[in-house]
């Protein structure tokens, strides 16, 4: 069954969106999720009834879904299967309305028993999977069917629209690592959905930076797409090679926080290579949603443009779980309105939207969809540092990241958290590795490091245990810039955390 997509998805009023979402939520839960998802049949349908949700307000009655409920463990490697829609003949007979059963009967009369089964298999059979990339648990598989791939293609078409990419003239080069991850495949389906020529390089680990630079020169793309850290590395190499990038209109960045300092830095770098007024647009997504959202050319001031016909997004107080008001910072909670395979209801993402969500029309493109503020933080980025045997200090790593990203005297940096003497019962230590901008002398570098140490203490109340100046090449190796799917920017070597590199583990 091909899903129906609303061609006026971005032009409705807030009341129209709410009315549409309420109707779609009722139908999706009643006829798909609650009968066919083992987890939600048990936790919602059997506990609250199949008609527990009749309006958007009723959504708040449902329990949250958390990462811990889905993520596999060594004791239970199949937890994620509980969230996959798994219809059977018995469940269909028991729960589908007469109208849907008659449609299925009509398919049987027209195409025979095998034809009817083939239709159901086309709609529900798993044919692909995305995997989460977190290091705190085993990778979690999220299943996609043909329907989900059609949604991914439609979302890709919308991203091309929102970003104002000209399908007739613009070309794209993606530097996202080739992997069963959302980012790579969303770019692929953006090219398909938007009919835009796209070269998916597989990133530095697959093609290598030198070959990627050669490809960029040959393709002459309007936009380069990828993870912020690696894109900056590629642009730095291009600048060193005195490349002409006058054909570039801008960058599309995903997979990591894009700070104001980073935006300013890469724009300056692009302009020095001939790009005129380059745009730096961010893209946000997470595996559990099986889709991404983009900023329009208004960049961070525009926020991420969502798809109210495909999802319900709530912003909640992470402490109380209660909804917050428009424009108020809170945690993003996601519910799907369309899809098959793995589906989630009221999923707590752990992403803090700094500035929350607004329902006002976008001042740059005029779209009326709800928009998420562009500044994101992870709840898990607030690290508890045990600085003495008596008490700990909560350190917001996102604040430190922004501070270091914004410092133009640094070419690259890495923070490492470890236990003193690698003893699990000792206090925590924070170490900083930096590579300085080439224009700085050795004496200037010592002053810069001293100022950074003071600034970090000022904003975090944590003193660095060490700050080392390393050659850029050595720090790039520690970051895994050419070898990892994503550079190891903040490395937690304490118990239960994976080391970034063997060298980092030895420190």
In angstroms, the CA 458 to CA 436 distance is: 21
Rounded average pLDDT over 131-159: 88
Q: Cβ neighbours of residue 121 under 8 Å, at least 6 residues apart?
A: none
411 found inside a domain: yes
Q: Which residue has the higher pLDDT, 504 or 95?
A: 95
Is residue 281 within 8 A of residue 311, CB to CB? The reply is no
Q: How confident is the model at residue 389 (pLDDT cuts 50, 70, 90)?
A: low
| CATH number of 470's domain | 3.30.300.30
Helix (H) or strand (E) holding 23: helix 14-28
51-55, 289-293, 354-358: segment of lowest average pLDDT: 51-55
pLDDT of residue 507 exceeding 60 = no
Range of the domain at 19: 14-65+78-125
Q: How confident is the model at residue 4 (pLDDT cuts 50, 70, 90)?
A: confident
Rounded average pLDDT over 196-219: 95
Q: Which residue has the higher pLDDT, 181 or 499?
A: 181
Q: How confident is the model at residue 393 (pLDDT cuts 50, 70, 90)?
A: confident
**3-state SS assignment for residue 7:** coil
Is residue 403 within 8 A of residue 455, CB to CB? The reply is yes
274 found inside a domain: no
In angstroms, the CA 370 to CA 358 distance is: 6
Q: 502: how many CB neighbours lie within 10 A of its CB?
A: 8
**3-state SS assignment for residue 425:** coil
Rounded average pLDDT over 253-279: 94
Domain boundary among 110, 125, 140: 125
140 found inside a domain: no
In angstroms, the CA 438 to CA 443 distance is: 13
**3-state SS assignment for residue 11:** coil
In angstroms, the CA 20 to CA 113 distance is: 35
pLDDT of residue 316 exceeding 90 = yes
pLDDT of residue 502 exceeding 60 = no
In angstroms, the CA 6 to CA 354 distance is: 29
Q: Quickly list DSSP for 68-106.
A: HHHS--SS-TTGGGGGB----HHHHHHHS-HHHHHHHHH
Q: Please count the structural domains in the chain.
A: 2
Q: 246: how many CB neighbours lie within 10 A of its CB?
A: 12
Q: Which residue has the higher pLDDT, 103 or 71?
A: 71
pLDDT at 35: 97
pLDDT at 193: 97
Q: How confident is the model at residue 495 (pLDDT cuts 50, 70, 90)?
A: low
Return the closest-CA partner of residue 183 out of 203, 197, 161: 203
Domain boundary among 87, 107, 125: 125
Rounded average pLDDT over 57-69: 95
108 found inside a domain: yes
Rounded average pLDDT over 344-352: 96
H-only helix segments in 243-342: 260-272
Is residue 205 within 8 A of residue 485, CB to CB? The reply is yes
How is residue 8 written in tokens? 């006026």
Could you tell me how many helices (H) and strands (E) the chain has, helices first? 16, 21
Rounded average pLDDT over 112-137: 82
467 found inside a domain: yes
Taking all residues of the chain, what is their mean pLDDT, rounded to a whole number? 91
pLDDT at 499: 41
Return the closest-CA partner of residue 318 out of 298, 348, 291, 289: 348
Q: 393: how many CB neighbours lie within 10 A of its CB?
A: 14
Is residue 96 within 8 A of residue 31, CB to CB? The reply is yes
pLDDT at 503: 38
Q: How confident is the model at residue 506 (pLDDT cuts 50, 70, 90)?
A: very low
Rounded average pLDDT over 369-396: 80
Rounded to a whole number of angstroms, the distance between the first and last alpha carbons of the chain is: 55
317 found inside a domain: no
254 found inside a domain: no
What are the pLDDT digits (tens) for 281-314? Answer: 999 999 999 999 999 999 999 999 999 999 999 9
Q: How confident is the model at residue 119 (pLDDT cuts 50, 70, 90)?
A: confident
152 found inside a domain: no
pLDDT at 394: 82
Q: How confident is the model at residue 217 (pLDDT cuts 50, 70, 90)?
A: very high
Give the chain's radius of gyration (CA, Å): 24
């Amino acid at each position: 069954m091909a899903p129906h997509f609303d061609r006026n998805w971005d032009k409705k009023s807030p009341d129209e969106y709410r009315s549409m979402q309420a109707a779609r939520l009722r139908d999706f839960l009643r006829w798909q999720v609650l009968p066919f998802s083992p987890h939600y049949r048990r936790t919602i349908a059997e506990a609250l009834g199949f008609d527990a949700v009749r309006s958007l307000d009723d959504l708040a009655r449902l329990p949250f879904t958390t990462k811990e409920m889905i993520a596999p463990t060594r004791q239970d490697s199949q937890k994620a299967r509980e969230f996959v829609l798994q219809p059977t003949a018995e469940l269909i007979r028991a729960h589908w309305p007469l109208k849907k059963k008659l449609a299925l009967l009509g398919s049987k009369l027209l195409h025979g028993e095998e034809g009817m089964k083939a239709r159901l298999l086309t709609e529900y059979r798993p044919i692909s999977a995305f995997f989460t990339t977190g290091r705190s648990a085993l990778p979690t598989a999220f299943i996609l069917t043909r329907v989900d791939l059609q949604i991914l293609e439609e979302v890709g078409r919308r991203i091309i629209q929102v970003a104002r990419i000209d399908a007739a003239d613009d070309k794209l080069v993606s530097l996202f690592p080739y992997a069963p991850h959302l980012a790579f495949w969303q770019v692929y389906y953006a090219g398909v959905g938007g009919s835009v020529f796209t070269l998916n390089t597989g990133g530095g680990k697959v093609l290598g930076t030198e070959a990627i630079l050669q490809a960029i020169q040959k393709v002459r793309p309007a936009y380069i797409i990828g993870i912020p850290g690696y894109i900056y590395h590629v642009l730095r190499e291009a600048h060193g090679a005195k490349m002409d990038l006058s054909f570039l209109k801008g960058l599309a960045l995903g997979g990591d926080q894009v700070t104001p300092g980073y935006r300013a830095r890469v724009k300056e770098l692009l302009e020095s290579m001939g790009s005129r007024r380059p745009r730096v647009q961010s893209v946000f997504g997470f595996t559990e949603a099986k889709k991404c959202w983009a900023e329009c050319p208004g960049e961070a001031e525009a926020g991420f443009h969502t798809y109210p016909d495909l999802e319900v997004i709530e912003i909640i107080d992470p402490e109380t779980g209660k909804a917050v008001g428009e424009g108020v910072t809170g945690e993003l909670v996601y519910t799907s309105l369309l899809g098959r395979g793995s589906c989630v209801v009221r999923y707590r993402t752990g992403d803090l939207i700094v500035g929350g969500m607004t329902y006002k029309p976008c001042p740059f493109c005029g779209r009326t969809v709800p928009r998420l503020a562009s500044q994101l933080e992870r709840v898990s980025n607030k690290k508890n540092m045990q600085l003495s045997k008596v008490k700990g200090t909560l350190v917001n790593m996102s604040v430190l990241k922004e501070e270091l990203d914004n410092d133009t005297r640094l070419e690259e940096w890495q923070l490492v958290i470890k236990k003193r003497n690698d003893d699990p019962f000792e206090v925590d230590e924070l170490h900083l590795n930096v590579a300085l901008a080439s224009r700085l002398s050795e004496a200037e570098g010592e002053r810069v490091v001293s100022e950074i140490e003071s600034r970090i203490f000022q904003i975090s109340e944590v003193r660095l245990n060490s700050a080392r100046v390393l050659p850029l090449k050595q720090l790039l190796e520690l970051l895994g810039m050419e070898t990892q799917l994503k550079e190891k920017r903040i490395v937690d070597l304490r118990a239960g955390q994976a080391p970034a590199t063997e060298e980092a583990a030895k420190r």
